[in-house]
Amino acid sequence: MNLFEENENIVVFKADKDGLDLEEFLSSNDISGRLFRKLYKGKQIYVNGKFKRKGLILERGDLVSIYMENEDENTTPEKMEIDIIYEDFDLLILNKQPNIVVHPTKSHQENTLSNGISYYFKEKGIKKKIRFVNRLDMNTTGILIVAKNPFAHQQMALQFESNEVEKKYQAIVSGIVEKNEDYIDLPIGREEDKSVKKVVTENGQKALTKYTVIEKYKEASLLDVQIFTGRSHQIRVHLNHIGHPIIGDVLYNEESPYIDRQALHSYYLKIKHPRTKKDIEFIASLPEDMKRLINHLKNK
């Protein structure tokens, strides 16, 4: 094992100045205290190839390596088609298809995306746990990020928590949206304590959405939607509140004979790569059911 060479299990940092101790240095590289303690306890942090105490004062040019062990994934492997947009040591980026559950639940142990990824990992000899970074509703399609190790997961979670990730969606909504572009800056909370449904409410959490009209049809509109906060159901609630609920959304609108889910697709994501810190963009093509709905609306 070469602790000076980056690979799927090792991430290397180089000290660019004197004076920081090991914990301070990794904290300055956005390694959380929780992850540091976990790695340190397992003796998985090395300085110039050797395990050192966390109080060690680093010198300029020292190489600090964090080692992440191989892991067992317990989700039952199940062969299925998964649409991979991008993959490297740290990330697996998927284009989630319609009407598929992401995680196994008590009532839904099979045919989840996790089952499919578990099979893919097994086939490729990837000995890592499945760590989803972002969430999409069962009936929303588009970009899903899977982190392949604790380091990538923690780094990506940090970006999402601080709203540094650029997220764009396409939505097909009922009615002709008059303003070609607008911001919706309205707080969102639960309709009732145990309700799944969310509403705009003064007591809710801050939520900011921007929409731009792409096309207008006879009785509907295609929107480009960017969210700057990550509230549950944010786009669905905000668009419903301005009188343009998403077509096919049975919770905030009504069933549609032309699509069997809400016409909402996460098509664009821009992040900083957890290892290189460089900006990286992902684009997921529009699913066939939304293309068919658009064709129907155009010809109506």
Is residue 218 within 8 A of residue 209, CB to CB? The reply is no
Q: Is the pLDDT of residue 1 over 70?
A: no
pLDDT at residue 104 in the model: 80
Task: Round to whole Å and give the CA distance between 85 and 206.
Answer: 32
Condensed to tens digits (0 to 9), the pLDDT of residues 28-75 reads 999 999 999 999 999 999 999 999 998 899 999 999 999 999 999 989
- Fill in the amino acid letter for 244: H
**Residue 72 maps to a domain:** no
Report if pTM > 0.85: yes
Query: Catalytic: 137?
Result: yes
pLDDT at residue 138 in the model: 84
| Average pLDDT taken over every residue of the chain | 93
Residues 6+ apart with CB under 8 A from 82: 94, 113, 116, 117, 120
Number of separate domains in the chain: 3
Which ranges constitute the DSSP H helices of the chain?
22-28, 33-41, 113-124, 150-161, 234-241, 288-298
pLDDT at residue 92 in the model: 97
Is residue 270 within 8 A of residue 280, CB to CB? The reply is yes
Average pLDDT (90-102) is: 93
Residue 111 has phi, psi (to 5 degrees) of 60, 30
Q: Are both 173 and 222 inside the same structural domain?
A: yes
Q: Are both 244 and 288 inside the same structural domain?
A: yes
pLDDT at residue 110 in the model: 84
**Residue 22 maps to a domain:** yes
Per-residue pLDDT band at 135 (split at 50, 70, 90): confident
Q: Per the residue annotation, which of 83, 137, 182, 224 is the catalytic one?
A: 137
Give the CATH number, domain containing residue 245.
3.30.2350.10
Condensed to tens digits (0 to 9), the pLDDT of residues 201-255 reads 998 999 999 999 999 999 999 999 999 998 999 999 999 999 999 999 999 999 9
Give the CATH number, domain containing residue 44.
3.10.290.10
Write the DSSP assignment of 128-152 as a string of letters.
---EE-S---TT-EEEEEEESSHHH
283 is in which domain, residue-wise?
166-270+277-298
Average pLDDT (97-109) is: 83
Condensed to tens digits (0 to 9), the pLDDT of residues 266-287 reads 999 999 999 999 999 999 999 9
